[in-house]
């Protein structure tokens, strides 16, 4: 039987066994890195999600290129503010806001390094080594690298001529280490929040305080950070000592919290409190459809990933759209087509948020209990109908809220009405096609918004088509026939799709039934 | 005839997972499906429940092809694995949801659930926990109760004794027997626990690599034959 293992076991001294818990540190790190790579590469979803990975890679590449391009002109942009004579001084004076932005982005989008270390805990490996490994992963994390695309060209251009190349590199290194410090703070906040929801207040207070100091209490925080930056540029050793102490403290705090987190992870979430929401009793009147609507609401509220995505994106869309309406000379008022495009895109996104977010996961979100649904008396056609009614009700609610700016004359009522029907008509028709093609397993309890598990190439393609094709169509009509015709077109097509919803949902369902075995197999894997 | 299987073949890639030329199950039969891992027990159940597409052949339930008609859902209760459970619900919510799909009112539901009180052992209801946070054994109980509480005419349970403590194993054994004897329910169970399966089944089917090796009426000779088979397999 030894031939099966020969490849994996190194030749050791016969009879010699490990007697301490300190195997060579570098060997351990290497092994853990290998395991991490294998778990990624051997994941059954690796090939299936290849399209999603390519898409993400392109998106991140695009972001990196944008940052890189901005980095080369950033100095000129900063000098226009006129607060300091050197661009690097201006940048240092806004450093607090840069890191605040970094903190907020990471809080929402970055997940803590996975604590899946249970298989190693009983091996002769010190726990602190495992925690160190997880923390060391921060150095390679994209979240700590993305700023560098902006900072490297900017620092080389703005620091080198006055302080030399060596200082420019030290400045970049310092900035990068501060990004890691922000990540460690975010890890701490996430760990604390997972223990108690009240810790959400901590980042809110941190951001509020940082903004209140300069704007409410006139504390010149910009001057302080500029002076600190100046100290760094002049190679003041205190700056580096301060950073090392800061990083070391964060490291120790993270390690301590991880030690307790590992116990709760091993214990599972047995102490999880149940949601106070039980059901919307008035939906009981609608029979199976009402039951499914209640089920969908519970699913959104009890899956962290869906809840975060839905609530945050809905709030952002609504806030962004309404704020834009009230900002003078906003993008919507531009005479060219970019204004029209932005107006239609954001309006449809705002009205259709729930449908677009949840619509892309139709049936995939039920994948973990799909077998159970298939053997029950209830029909999945009822489930499809309930989803449509729920998403449309949300759109109606947002339309009613947007009546306020419409009555104030910020938005045409005809446009709003047309956009509503257009969203619940052709836009939802397109997104509901996901019901036919979705066949990936979706783990409802996986955390984090930037979690791409369960996404597929089909899903992204249909969502992109849903978001852009209807808008391109109305842009073409606007160019040829003008605004009123566009509204009428949206209203008529919207009404047509809305009035025939039962038929196209039935056709979608029939097409799903033809692929059901294939899809169900995907849901199980 | 309650269930009829004809020329049923299922392949996964090149591997034949199931190949049954014919199997008829009469109403009221308590059929125990036995076999080692990979024998095709779960695959057979999935095909009967139309959760897999057969490469050829068909399953008739009360004369209707299960892949063509959904009528069987009305009188069939089943539990295969945790994919039948909606884990973000509490057990109460889950039972109510399943009950409503079968038209059970609150009183009926509560009355039916009360018959499982001993099986639940005070660990299922009123725990203020989502199903995902229950132990494997209690999840198994929730799935079995949801399948049985609708008082189906056909009950399909895959490995019902798994994860259960000895008392619960005895309890589920008694409940299955009672349902079969009092309501005439046709029961299909698969299990690795040969003692319990042979103890309650009226008919025993032995599967190996997707093929029916033995189809026996339960008797001391049948049990001996099965014992011999498994001992031989262990020694080979």
Query: Would you tell me how many other CB atoms lie within 10 Å of the CB of residue A105?
Result: 14
Q: What is the mean pLDDT of residues A364-380?
A: 87
What's the distance, CA A439 to chain centroid? 22
Separation in Å, CA of B56 to nearest CA in chain A: 14
Domains of chain B: 3-235 (3.40.50.300)
Is the CB of residue A510 less than 8 Å away from at least one CB of chain B?
no
Interface of B with A in 147-166 (CB under 8 A): none
Among A269, A374, A375, which would you mutate to test the B interface (most chain B Cβ atoms within 10 Å of its Cβ)?
Answer: A375
Confidence of residue A218 (pLDDT cuts 50, 70, 90): confident
Is the CB of residue B109 less than 8 Å away from at least one CB of chain A?
no
Question: Are A323 and A350 in contact, with CB atoms under 8 Å apart?
Answer: no
Interface of B with A in 120-139 (CB under 8 A): 128-130, 132-133
Over the stretch B91-140, which tens digit does the pLDDT of each residue have? 998 898 888 888 888 888 999 999 999 999 999 998 888 888 899 999 99
Cβ–Cβ gap A375/B52 under 8 Å: no
Is the CB of residue A368 less than 8 Å away from at least one CB of chain B?
yes
Over the stretch A19-28, which tens digit does the pLDDT of each residue have? 555 555 666 6
Q: Is the pLDDT of residue A391 over 50?
A: yes
* Number of residues in chain B: 236
The 3-class SS string of A193-235 reads HHHCHHHHHHHHHHHHHHHHHHHCCCCCHHHHHHHHHHHHHCC
Contacts of residue B100 in chain A, CB cutoff 8 Å? 288, 291
Interface of A with B in 190-229 (CB under 8 A): none
Chain A residue nearest residue B52, CA to CA: A517
Q: Which residues pair with B156 in a beta bridge?
A: B78, B188
Q: For residues A113 and A97, which has the higher predicted lDDT (pLDDT)?
A: A97
Contacts of residue B76 in chain A, CB cutoff 8 Å? 375
Determine the Cα angle at B11 with ends B10 and B16, to 5°: 100
Q: What is the mean pLDDT of residues B17-29?
A: 93
* φ, ψ dihedrals at B102, nearest 5°: -105, 15
Question: Are B79 and B144 in contact, with CB atoms under 8 Å apart?
Answer: yes
Interface of A with B in 23-42 (CB under 8 A): none
Over the stretch A121-176, which tens digit does the pLDDT of each residue have? 666 667 777 888 888 888 888 888 888 999 999 999 999 999 999 999 999 999 99
Chain A residue nearest residue B94, CA to CA: A295
Cβ–Cβ gap A517/B53 under 8 Å: yes
At B2, is the secondary structure helix, strand, or coil? coil
Q: Can you tell me the distance from the alpha carbon of A237 to that of B197, in angstroms, rounded to the nearest whole number?
A: 77
Determine the Cα angle at A283 with ends A277 and A284, to 5°: 100
Q: Can you tell me the distance from the alpha carbon of A366 to that of A362, in angstroms, rounded to the nearest whole number?
A: 8
Contacts of residue B11 in chain A, CB cutoff 8 Å? none
* Cβ-Cβ contacts under 8 Å for A284 (sequence gap 6 or more): A290, A291, A294
Q: Say what the ipTM of the complex is.
A: 0.76
Q: What is the mean pLDDT of residues A456-481?
A: 81
Is the CB of residue B58 less than 8 Å away from at least one CB of chain A?
no
Q: Can you give the residue ranges of every domain in chain A? A: 51-267, 285-524
Q: What is the mean pLDDT of residues A475-491?
A: 84
Q: Can you tell me the distance from the alpha carbon of B190 to that of A464, in angstroms, rounded to the nearest whole number?
A: 46
Of A272, A288, A369, the CB nearest to B130: A272
Q: Which of A34-43, A216-225, B50-59 has the lowest mean pLDDT?
A: A34-43
Position A509 scores a pLDDT of: 93
Residue A414, classified by CB atoms within 10 Å of its CB into exposed (0-12), middle (13-18) or buried (19+), is middle
Question: Are B32 and B191 in contact, with CB atoms under 8 Å apart?
Answer: yes
* Cβ-Cβ contacts under 8 Å for A145 (sequence gap 6 or more): A176, A179
Q: Is the pLDDT of residue A332 over 80?
A: no
Q: What number of C-beta contacts closer than 8 Å exist between A and B? A: 79
Q: For residues A40 and A68, which has the higher predicted lDDT (pLDDT)?
A: A68
Is the CB of residue B11 less than 8 Å away from at least one CB of chain A?
no
The 3-class SS string of A85-108 reads CCHHHHHHHCHHHHHHHHHHHHHH
Q: Is the pLDDT of residue A312 over 70?
A: yes
Q: Is the pLDDT of residue B156 over 80?
A: yes
Separation in Å, CA of B187 to nearest CA in chain A: 16
Q: Can you tell me the distance from the alpha carbon of A430 to that of A423, in angstroms, rounded to the nearest whole number?
A: 10
What per-residue string of b and e applies to A166-192 under the rule 16 or more CB within 10 Å gives b?
Answer: ebbebbbebbbbbbbbbbbbbbbbbbb
At A80, is the secondary structure helix, strand, or coil? coil
Q: For residues B186 and A101, which has the higher predicted lDDT (pLDDT)?
A: B186
**What are the CB-based long-range contacts (under 8 Å, 24+) for A170-176?**
A170/A232, A170/A235, A171/A88, A171/A232, A171/A233, A172/A148, A174/A232, A174/A239, A174/A240, A174/A243, A175/A147, A175/A148, A175/A151, A176/A144, A176/A145, A176/A147, A176/A148, A176/A151
**For chain B, what is the mean pLDDT?**
91
Of A288, A445, A520, the CB nearest to B51: A520
Confidence of residue A5 (pLDDT cuts 50, 70, 90): very low
């Amino acid at each position: 039987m030894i031939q099966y293992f020969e490849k994996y076991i190194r030749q050791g001294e016969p009879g010699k066994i490990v007697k301490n818990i300190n195997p060579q540190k570098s060997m351990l790190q290497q092994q853990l890195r290998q395991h991490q790579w294998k778990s990624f590469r051997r994941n059954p979803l690796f090939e299936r999600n290849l399209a999603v990975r390519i898409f993400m890679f392109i998106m991140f590449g695009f972001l990196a290129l944008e940052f890189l391009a901005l980095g080369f002109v950033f100095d000129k942009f900063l000098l226009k503010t006129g607060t300091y004579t050197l661009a690097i001084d201006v940048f240092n004076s806004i450093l607090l806001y840069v890191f605040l932005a970094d903190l907020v982005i990471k809080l929402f989008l970055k997940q803590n390094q996975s604590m899946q270390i249970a298989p190693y805990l009983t091996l002769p490996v010190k726990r602190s080594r495992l925690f160190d490994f997880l923390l060391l992963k921060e150095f390679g994390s994209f979240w700590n690298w993305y700023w560098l695309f902006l900072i490297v060209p900017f620092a080389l251009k703005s620091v080198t001529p006055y302080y030399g190349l060596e200082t420019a590199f030290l400045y970049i290194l310092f900035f990068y280490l501060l990004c890691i410090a922000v990540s460690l703070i975010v890890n701490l906040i996430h760990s604390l929040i997972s223990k108690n929801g009240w810790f959400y207040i901590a980042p809110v207070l941190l951001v509020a305080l940082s903004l209140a100091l300069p704007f409410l209490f006139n504390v010149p925080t910009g001057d302080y950070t500029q002076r600190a930056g100046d100290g760094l540029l002049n190679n003041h050793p205190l700056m580096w000592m301060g950073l090392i102490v800061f990083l070391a403290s964060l490291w120790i705090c993270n390690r301590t919290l991880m030690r307790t987190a590992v116990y709760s992870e091993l214990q599972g979430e047995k102490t999880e409190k149940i949601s106070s929401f039980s059901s919307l009793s008035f939906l009981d009147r609608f029979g199976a459809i009402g039951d499914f609507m209640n089920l969908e609401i519970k699913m959104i509220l009890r899956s962290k990933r869906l809840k975060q995505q839905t609530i945050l994106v809905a709030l952002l869309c609504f806030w962004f759209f309404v704020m834009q309406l009230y900002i003078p000379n906003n993008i919507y008022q531009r005479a060219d087509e970019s204004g029209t495009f932005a107006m239609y895109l954001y309006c449809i996104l705002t009205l259709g948020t729930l449908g677009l977010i949840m619509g892309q996961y139709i049936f995939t979100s039920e994948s973990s209990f799909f077998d159970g649904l298939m053997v029950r008396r209830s029909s999945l056609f009822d489930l499809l109908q309930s989803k449509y009614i729920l998403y449309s009700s949300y759109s109606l609610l947002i339309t009613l809220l947007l009546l306020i700016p419409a009555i104030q004359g910020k938005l045409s009522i005809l446009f709003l009405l047309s956009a509503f029907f257009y969203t619940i008509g052709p836009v939802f028709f397109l997104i509901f096609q996901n019901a036919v093609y979705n066949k990936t397993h979706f783990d409802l309890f996986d955390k984090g918004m930037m979690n791409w598990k369960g996404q597929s190439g089909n899903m992204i393609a249909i969502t992109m088509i849903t978001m852009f094709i209807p808008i391109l169509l109305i842009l073409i009509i606007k160019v040829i026939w003008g605004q009123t015709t566009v509204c009428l077109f949206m209203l008529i097509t919207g009404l047509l799709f809305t009035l025939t919803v039962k038929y196209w949902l039935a056709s979608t369902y029939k097409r799903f039934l033809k692929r059901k075995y294939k899809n169900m197999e995907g849901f199980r894997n | 005839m309650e269930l009829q299987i004809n020329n049923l073949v299922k392949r996964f890639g090149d591997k034949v997972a199931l190949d049954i030329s014919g199997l008829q199950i009469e109403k009221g039969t308590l059929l125990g499906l036995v076999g080692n891992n990979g024998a095709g027990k779960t695959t057979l159940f999935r095909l009967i429940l139309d959760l897999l597409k057969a490469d050829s052949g068909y399953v008739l339930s009360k004369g209707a092809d299960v892949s063509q008609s959904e009528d069987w859902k009305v009188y069939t209760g089943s539990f295969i694995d945790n994919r039948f459970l909606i884990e973000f619900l509490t057990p109460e919510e889950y039972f109510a949801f399943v009950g409503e799909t079968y038209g059970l009112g609150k009183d009926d539901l509560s009355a039916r659930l009360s018959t499982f009180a001993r099986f639940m052992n005070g660990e299922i209801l009123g725990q203020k926990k989502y199903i995902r946070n229950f132990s494997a054994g209690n999840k198994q109980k929730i799935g079995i109760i949801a399948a049985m509480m609708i008082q189906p005419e056909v009950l399909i349970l895959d490995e019902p004794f798994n994860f259960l403590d000895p008392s619960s194993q005895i309890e589920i054994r008694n409940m299955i027997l009672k349902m079969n004897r009092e309501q005439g329910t046709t029961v299909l169970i698969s299990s690795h626990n040969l003692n319990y399966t042979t103890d309650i089944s009226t008919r025993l089917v032995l599967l190996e690599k997707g093929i029916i090796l033995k189809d026996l009426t339960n008797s001391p000779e049948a049990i001996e034959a099965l014992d011999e088979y498994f001992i031989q397999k262990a020694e080979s």
